[in-house]
């Protein structure tokens, strides 16, 4: 793909990778992808993103179709995953006077990815870059969309928002414009697939990101797939719909199991009955009868998860693992889980499942529950007790009322790395005196451990 003029002073200089079929190890890419990058020209010339290292030469050719690469003044990195930042080191080699711009977390990622001490300016909310000629870029941090370092860059003059992965899709559109997509249905499916795999784990951040998009945006330049102009509202509406939590009047439990001779199934039924009596909305599924997609969805929406498997050849059978490895572990706060199963002599399955669930950071009882061959009535009663003991560990909320305005004096915790800001201690290493309330920290303050912005902190329980 060559350089494409998108607007006055704005060029697409990214590349297509139509042969890609698997992205980030786990994500199918039926139609390949593009590594998008943009060049803003004027008194100062600005590149936004680089591309995957394998495509650096093509990227360079595209830039050179517009201007000599040595004339680029700034490189803005909205997000530093290596598919976008992979070529930064080579670009800096060619343009030693280039100044790189990223969030504080982005600067750190970039240094860890290039292993170089790059000339990088860290920017935060409201910071701007004056390009001369009346063109000023504004930076809008939008953390965890989908990395800690993510930000949007807003070009008010061109009414263009550079969103990196946000609103993107793995799709090759050679013209780079949504209005030219021929296989519309295929693109829409990829748009959804991309949301589910990349943005889905960060739904609250997606809603925050939508609210940060300037209303007058006319062009959205993403980092994968076509730029959006005609379909901005369509894309925003879908992101909002997919990210808005459904009402949850009751806690949900999912009892999922496999069973060769029905013994583990008997335990599953006893657990489901007990949880129903506890007031839970309960779904039960045998993994050999229900599709993995259904089981994965139920596991991800459950407040309490009970996983059962017989021991088969000293392990739990694969279909059960398929469900467990489909769980998105990012938002399991408050959720509880337990493992159970029938066995014949060695009984490894339930302990293995239990260890895995604890590894995902579910609240879990001390031990799994297992029974030799066919459960007795006493075993079924004990299984019901076990299910209740798991439910007792669940602390997830039901239909949470809108968050009250945070009190100024309490502790705050970083959602990314767990660092706790204690007003009593302050952060003297960064000029914050003991006794400074979180609300009084300057907007430029960031997490001393991982570098994310203040906005990533939540009030500690």
Ligand X SMILES: Cc1cc2nc3c(=O)[nH]c(=O)nc-3n(C[C@H](O)[C@H](O)[C@H](O)COP(=O)(O)O)c2cc1C
Interacting residues toward ligand X by CB under 6 A: 259-264, 310-314, 342-347, 373
Taking the complex as a whole, how short is the minimal distance between the CB of residue 340 and ligand X, in angstroms?
A: 10
Q: Are 81 and 89 in contact (CB under 8 A)?
A: no
Complex with ligand X: residue 223 or 264, whichever CB lies closer: 264
Complex with ligand X: residue 263 or 438, whichever CB lies closer: 263
* β-pair partners for 373: none
Nearest to 75 by CA among 108, 26, 105, 110: 110
Taking the complex as a whole, how short is the minimal distance between the CB of residue 259 and ligand X, in angstroms?
A: 3
Q: Are 184 and 173 in contact (CB under 8 A)?
A: no
Nearest to 178 by CA among 22, 52, 34: 34
* Rounded CA separation 96/74 (Å): 11
Taking the complex as a whole, how short is the minimal distance between the CB of residue 307 and ligand X, in angstroms?
A: 13
DSSP H helices, 287-367, are 292-301, 318-324, 349-359
Taking the complex as a whole, how short is the minimal distance between the CB of residue 350 and ligand X, in angstroms?
A: 10
Residue for token digits 């790395």? 417
Complex with ligand X: residue 214 or 262, whichever CB lies closer: 262
Nearest to 137 by CA among 148, 151, 147: 151
Complex with ligand X: residue 234 or 261, whichever CB lies closer: 261
Relative to beta strand 128-130, strand 136-141 is antiparallel
Taking the complex as a whole, how short is the minimal distance between the CB of residue 258 and ligand X, in angstroms?
A: 7
Taking the complex as a whole, how short is the minimal distance between the CB of residue 106 and ligand X, in angstroms?
A: 49
DSSP string, 346-375: S--HHHHHHHHHHHTT-B--SS-EEEESS-
Complex with ligand X: residue 257 or 421, whichever CB lies closer: 257
Complex with ligand X: residue 49 or 286, whichever CB lies closer: 286
Q: What is the DSSP letter of 444?
A: T
Taking the complex as a whole, how short is the minimal distance between the CB of residue 375 and ligand X, in angstroms?
A: 9
* Rounded CA separation 398/17 (Å): 44
Taking the complex as a whole, how short is the minimal distance between the CB of residue 326 and ligand X, in angstroms?
A: 22
Complex with ligand X: residue 139 or 356, whichever CB lies closer: 356
334 sits in the region (left: phi over 0; alpha: psi -120 to 50; else beta) called: left
Complex with ligand X: residue 253 or 371, whichever CB lies closer: 371
């Amino acid at each position: 793909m060559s350089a494409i003029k998108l607007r006055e002073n704005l060029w697409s200089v990214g590349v297509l990778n139509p042969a890609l079929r698997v992205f980030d190890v786990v994500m199918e890419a039926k139609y390949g992808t593009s590594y998008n990058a943009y060049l803003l020209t004027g008194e100062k010339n600005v590149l936004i993103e680089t591309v995957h290292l394998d495509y650096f030469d093509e990227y360079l050719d595209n830039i050179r179709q517009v201007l000599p690469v040595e004339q680029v003044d700034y490189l803005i990195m909205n997000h530093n995953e290596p598919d976008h930042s992979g070529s930064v080191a080579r670009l800096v080699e060619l343009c030693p006077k280039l100044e790189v711009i990223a969030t504080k977390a982005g600067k750190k990622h970039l240094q860890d990815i290039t292993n170089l001490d790059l000339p990088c300016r860290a920017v935060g909310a409201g910071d701007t870059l004056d390009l001369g000629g009346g063109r000023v870029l504004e930076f809008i941090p939008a953390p965890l969309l989908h990395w800690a370092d993510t930000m949007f860059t807003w070009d008010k003059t061109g009414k263009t928002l550079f969103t990196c992965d946000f609103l993107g899709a793995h799709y090759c559109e050679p013209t780079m414009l949504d209005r030219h997509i021929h296989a519309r249905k295929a693109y829409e499916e990829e748009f959804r697939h991309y949301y589910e795999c990349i943005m889905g784990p960060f739904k609250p951040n997606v809603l925050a990101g939508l609210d940060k998009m300037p209303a007058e945006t006319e062009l959205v330049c993403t980092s994968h797939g076509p730029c959006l102009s005609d379909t901005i509202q369509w894309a925003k509406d879908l992101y909002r719909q997919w990210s808005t939590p459904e009402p949850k009047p009751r806690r949900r439990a999912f009892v999922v199991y496999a069973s060769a001779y029905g013994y583990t199934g008997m335990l599953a039924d006893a657990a489901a009955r007990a949880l129903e009596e506890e007031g839970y909305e309960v779904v039960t599924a045998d993994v050999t009868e229900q599709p993995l997609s259904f089981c994965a969805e139920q596991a991800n929406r459950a407040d309490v998860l009970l996983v059962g498997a017989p021991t088969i050849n000293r392990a739990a059978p694969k279909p059960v693992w398929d469900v467990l490895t489909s769980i998105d572990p990012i938002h399991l706060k408050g959720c509880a889980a337990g493992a159970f199963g029938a066995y014949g002599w060695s009984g490894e399955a339930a302990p293995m499942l239990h260890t895995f669930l604890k590894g995902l950071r579910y609240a879990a009882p001390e031990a799994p529950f297992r029974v030799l061959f066919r459960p007795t009535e006493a075993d079924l009663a004990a299984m019901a007790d076990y299910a209740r003991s798991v439910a007792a560990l669940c602390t997830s909320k039901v239909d949470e009322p809108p968050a009250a305005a945070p009190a100024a004096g309490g502790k705050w915790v970083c959602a990314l790395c767990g660092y706790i800001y204690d007003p009593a201690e302050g952060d003297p290493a960064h000029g914050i005196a003991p006794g400074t309330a979180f609300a009084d920290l300057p907007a430029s303050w960031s997490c001393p451990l991982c570098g994310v912005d203040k906005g990533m902190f939540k009030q500690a329980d």
